[in-house]
Amino acid sequence: MDFELTTEQKMIQDMVRDFAQAEIAPIASELDKAARFPVEIFEKMGKLGLMGLPFPEEYGGAGADLISYCLALEEVGRACGGTGLSYEAHVSLACMPIYLYGTEQQKQTYLTPLASGEGIGSFGLTEPSAGSDAGGTRTTAIKQGDQWVINGSKIFITNGGYAKTVVLTAVTDRESRGISAFIVPADTAGFKVGKAYEKLGMRASNTVELVLEDVRIPEENLLGPLNAGFKQFLSTLDGGRVAISALAIGIARSAFETALEYAKQRQQFGQSLSKFQAIQHKLADMAMNIDLARNAVFKAAWLHDLGRPFTKEAAFAKLFSSEMAMRACEQAIQVLGGNGYMSDYPVERNFRDAKLIEIGEGTSEIQRLVIARQLGC
């Protein structure tokens, strides 16, 4: 298995790195402190073709593979974790289900504008009683004539306050607890957005509650077969887990690179911190684990791009990279000492951002369950 990047993959990596360092990194601290969603950044990303990177050109995308998308996510996440999270949610969770399960009309109507950067997408799964247990969904969709009427609420919804289109789940068969997926334009009557949450990290990413009160959408906005929504989103989350793993690597890289540079410059006891074995071991562990996590992401993405099963490998990547990122950020703070605890350096923001990845798109505990099931346990 050869992970040498192709010319196209390297071009995408270089382009996104240059963009992220020039446009995102300089304002990342301000975005975090103000909890501001960077609309202008996403408009620029749309013009660069990043908002639909892994989708065919016929639907407004760039026709890139999953590896290229992961490379892009790593670079965006290295500059700003919150911006990376919103980018990942738009592509992996909102656009991807429409591409995988939508009709041709749905793709032309909803995917193309999102992939071409004309709007931002959002994904609604989590509810007050449904998180890791998606079967606890209480939002309902009832067929009335040629329309679906949706009632319920969704919580912790990334991009919800800025979304043009939301893909969400609702119960369509009360007796069997059948769950279906729907495409809901955000300007539909009865669709309401709650106040943005105050969060520990990922503060540049918009996170809100969505309330649906007699939201009426056309019957053709059912996404995929009736009562197949739960299986669809389990499949969608496999790809999302690979992508969010790349985001974790980007955040860890930011912390590691800051710690490495600081250790080389900081003088204590007559020499730089990087000359002390205790610090060298921390830096060595960070570098090693970041590289191992990237290999796990590449393998899962490679399997996906070949059309082969990758559920286990996606869980491997998500579990290892998310926990690795937390360890790397924690150790980076330790290397910087008191400076690491202050907002003058990005490592404290990296630390706060990294924690979400151990929770979102399947907690570490759920990843271990997925892996165990893939082993036949």
Question: Does the annotation count 257 as an active-site position?
Answer: no
Backbone angles phi, psi at 140, to 5 degrees: -120, 150
Query: How far is it, in rounded angstroms, from Cα 105 to Cα 325?
Result: 40
Query: How far is it, in rounded angstroms, from Cα 119 to Cα 98?
Result: 14
Helix (H, G, I), strand (E, B) or coil at 100: helix
Give burial (CB, 10 Å; 0-12/13-18/19+) of 335.
buried
Tokens linked to 43 = 């408009």
CA angle (257 as vertex; 254, 263 as ends), nearest 5:
135
Tokens linked to 92 = 């992996």
Catalytic residue among 88, 127, 209, 361: 361
Rg (CA), the chain: 21
In the chain, DSSP finds a helix count (H) and a strand count (E) of 13, 10
Closest-CA residue to 50 (of 34, 63, 40, 67): 63
Task: With residue 173 as reference, give the H or E element that holds it.
Answer: strand 163-173
Backbone angles phi, psi at 95, to 5 degrees: -75, -40
Cβ-based neighbour number of residue 146 at 10 Å: 8
Are 167 and 121 contacting, i.e. CB atoms less than 8 angstroms apart?
yes
Partnered with residue 2 across adjacent β-strands are none
Chain centroid to CA 270: 44
Tokens linked to 323 = 């926990």
Active-site positions read 361
